[in-house]
């Protein structure tokens, strides 16, 4: 027992000495004295070797952050590569590698780097930052794909629709009271998430639809044009569309008309009308989802039904605040979005969709304001938490294969990787256009299959 205590004391002494090495450099960084911090970190990193060969991850990290803060993105990027060669999933290096790539508008490479948030513990100070940047890169890519889809529509067409694919358009508010307009987005988001529980369906994300509407300069009123829905369906290459209208009378009575459209015109579905009080909108949304599945001839499994029913909030106030938050987010009003999502959580603290959106938007705001340097200070507090044991990288918190599989499955279902091209995107239309042009056609759907674990972070070019 005494021997064990002695070993512990020696370990603590070692940790204290090691930590003291960085006190001055960390102080400079915290005070935003980046030149002094850089010089001190470089001195520590070099040691008996050159900076390029240094294995001192903490000093390399400080130098990487200092270089970035001084606008020397090339050197910052080089150090992020060095750190990732030593620790494949170092959250700080992943974040700054992506940020450096963004400075030169290499968004595709940045997205590949940010994708590794999947293997970062949610408790890591950089987790939300990396995830939010990945989401933003997806949005940028969707905006480009929307431009490409419209451009190709005029020249070679948009190709055939993809089987088992469905898109949910915004339901049109047919009364003049615009305060209910945001309900369209909340309703679509809930339905998209519910339909995504069905493994046999490929569901197009709301953000993809919003990107296309923005590119088409299509406001809510534009959805009233009968030709709009089929056109959007073809641009999205969705075989089926759910759309419709709603009205709220006297702030209480609700009527929703829901239509299922076969974009190819092969089948003709009857529309359905649902009525009730506004407070019943979440129950009505579930009825629309199950009615849509019935019309498509899809029988949901027991687990799929449970997941659909679980995805909800019982608070109409929380839902309305959430819907308004989505509208603010689409307008890049991060403050307004955060306020609305926070309000939704006050009404229902267990409203998971609101919490996810609140975290995402807050992280985007932190980067927008340039206040993300404080995350490094949070990381410094846990710098030597694993001293004496095998290091996995600061704050990575890897929890085994089950955790990795869970994270990847959630990603595949909830947002991010649906735009990746799949084998089923090739069809008869490839006969009338060249293969290289066809490969450019946007793929809007998400891939529901479990994704394999990502390889080690890709090695980007030598300069951002």
**What's the pLDDT band for 449 if we cut at 50, 70, 90?**
very low
Pairing of strands 238-249, 253-262: antiparallel
Residue 126 belongs to some domain of the structure: yes
Give the pLDDT of residue 264: 83
Assess whether pLDDT exceeds 50 at residue 122.
Answer: yes
Q: Is 159 exposed, middle or buried (0-12, 13-18, 19+ CB in 10 A)?
A: buried
Cα 233 to Cα 167: distance, rounded to the nearest angstrom: 7
Residue 225 belongs to some domain of the structure: yes
Report which of residues 221 and 71 the model is more confident about. Answer: 71
Cα 240 to Cα 309: distance, rounded to the nearest angstrom: 23
Of the residues 308, 328, 345, which one is the last residue of a structural domain? 308
Kindly state whether residues 105 and 206 are assigned to the same domain: no
**What's the pLDDT band for 408 if we cut at 50, 70, 90?**
very low
Residue 450 belongs to some domain of the structure: no
Statement: the pTM of the whole predicted model exceeds 0.85: no
Mean pLDDT of 23-32: 90
Under DSSP, the state recorded for 395 is T
Residue 352 belongs to some domain of the structure: no
Of the residues 308, 334, 349, which one is the last residue of a structural domain? 308
Query: Per residue in 367-393, pLDDT tens?
Result: 998 878 777 777 665 554 433 333 344
Give the pLDDT of residue 381: 56
Kindly state whether residues 206 and 277 are assigned to the same domain: yes
**What's the pLDDT band for 354 if we cut at 50, 70, 90?**
very high
Kindly state whether residues 81 and 189 are assigned to the same domain: no
Encoding tokens for residue 46? 């070099």
- As for how many domains the chain has, the answer is 2
Kindly state whether residues 10 and 130 are assigned to the same domain: yes
Assess whether pLDDT exceeds 50 at residue 29.
Answer: yes
Residue 325 belongs to some domain of the structure: no
Kindly state whether residues 164 and 255 are assigned to the same domain: yes
Residue 241 belongs to some domain of the structure: yes
Kindly state whether residues 199 and 71 are assigned to the same domain: no
**What's the pLDDT band for 150 if we cut at 50, 70, 90?**
confident
Give the pLDDT of residue 388: 34
Cα–Cα distances (Å) from 412 to 82, 364, 409, 447, in that order, read: 30, 21, 5, 6
Kindly state whether residues 127 and 167 are assigned to the same domain: no
Q: What is the CATH number of the domain that holds 42?
A: 1.25.40.10
Assess whether pLDDT exceeds 60 at residue 20.
Answer: yes
Residue 410 belongs to some domain of the structure: no
Assess whether pLDDT exceeds 80 at residue 72.
Answer: yes
Assess whether pLDDT exceeds 80 at residue 192.
Answer: yes
Kindly state whether residues 123 and 175 are assigned to the same domain: no
Residue 237 belongs to some domain of the structure: yes
Do 274 and 281 form a contact (C-beta atoms < 8 A)? no
Kindly state whether residues 127 and 200 are assigned to the same domain: no
Kindly state whether residues 9 and 91 are assigned to the same domain: yes
Neighbour tally for 141: CB within 10 Å: 17
Kindly state whether residues 169 and 300 are assigned to the same domain: yes
Report which of residues 48 and 197 the model is more confident about. Answer: 197
Give the pLDDT of residue 355: 93
- For 88, the domain range is 2-134+372-380
Give the pLDDT of residue 255: 93
Kindly state whether residues 87 and 163 are assigned to the same domain: no
**What's the pLDDT band for 219 if we cut at 50, 70, 90?**
low
Give the pLDDT of residue 11: 46
Of the residues 256, 279, 308, which one is the last residue of a structural domain? 308
Q: Is 193 exposed, middle or buried (0-12, 13-18, 19+ CB in 10 A)?
A: buried
Tell me the range of 148-152, 212-216, 322-326 where mean pLDDT is highest.
322-326
């Amino acid at each position: 027992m005494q021997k064990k205590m002695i070993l512990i004391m020696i370990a603590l002494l070692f940790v204290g000495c090691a930590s003291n090495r960085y006190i001055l450099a960390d102080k400079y960084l915290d005070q935003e004295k980046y030149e002094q911090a850089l010089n001190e970190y470089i001195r520590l990193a070099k040691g008996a070797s050159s900076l390029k060969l240094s294995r001192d991850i903490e000093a390399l990290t400080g130098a990487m952050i200092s270089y970035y803060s001084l606008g020397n993105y090339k050197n910052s990027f080089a150090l992020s590569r060095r750190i990732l060669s030593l620790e494949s999933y170092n959250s700080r290096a992943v974040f700054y590698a992506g940020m450096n790539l963004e400075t030169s508008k290499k968004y595709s490479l940045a997205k590949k780097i940010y994708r590794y948030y999947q293997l970062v513990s949610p408790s890591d100070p950089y987790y939300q930052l990396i995830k939010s940047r990945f989401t933003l890169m997806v949005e940028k890519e969707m905006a480009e794909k929307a431009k490409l889809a419209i451009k190709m529509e005029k020249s070679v067409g948009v190709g055939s629709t993809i089987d088992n694919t469905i898109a949910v358009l915004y339901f049109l508010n047919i009364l003049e009271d615009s305060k209910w307009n945001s309900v369209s987005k909340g309703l679509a988001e809930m339905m998209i998430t519910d339909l995504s529980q069905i493994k046999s369906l490929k569901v197009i994300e709301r953000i993809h639809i919003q990107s296309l509407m923005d590119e088409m300069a299509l406001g809510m009123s534009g959805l009233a044009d009968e030709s709009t829905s089929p056109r959007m369906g073809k641009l999205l290459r969705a075989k089926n569309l759910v759309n419709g209208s709603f009205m709220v009378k006297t702030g209480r009575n609700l009527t929703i008309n829901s239509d299922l459209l076969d974009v190819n015109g092969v089948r003709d579905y009857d529309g359905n009308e649902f009525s009730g009080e506004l407070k019943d909108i979440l129950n009505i949304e579930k009825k629309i989802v199950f009615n849509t599945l019935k019309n498509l001839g899809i029988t949901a499994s027991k687990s799929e039904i449970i997941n659909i029913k679980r995805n909800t909030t019982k608070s109409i106030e929380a839902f309305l605040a959430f819907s308004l938050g989505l509208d603010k987010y689409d307008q890049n009003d991060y403050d307004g979005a955060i306020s609305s999502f926070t309000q939704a959580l006050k009404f229902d603290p267990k409203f998971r969709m609101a919490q996810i959106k609140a975290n995402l938007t807050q992280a985007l705001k932190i980067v927008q304001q340039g206040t993300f340097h404080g995350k490094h200070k949070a990381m410094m507090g846990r710098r030597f938490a694993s001293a004496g044991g095998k290091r996995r990288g600061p704050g990575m918190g890897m929890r085994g294969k089950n955790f990795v599989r869970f994270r990847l499955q959630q990603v595949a279902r909830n947002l991010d990787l649906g735009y990746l091209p799949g084998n089923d995107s090739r069809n008869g239309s490839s006969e009338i256009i060249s293969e290289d042009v066809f490969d450019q056609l946007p793929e809007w759907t998400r891939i529901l299959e479990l994704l394999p674990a990502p390889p080690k972070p890709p090695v980007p070019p030598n300069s951002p």
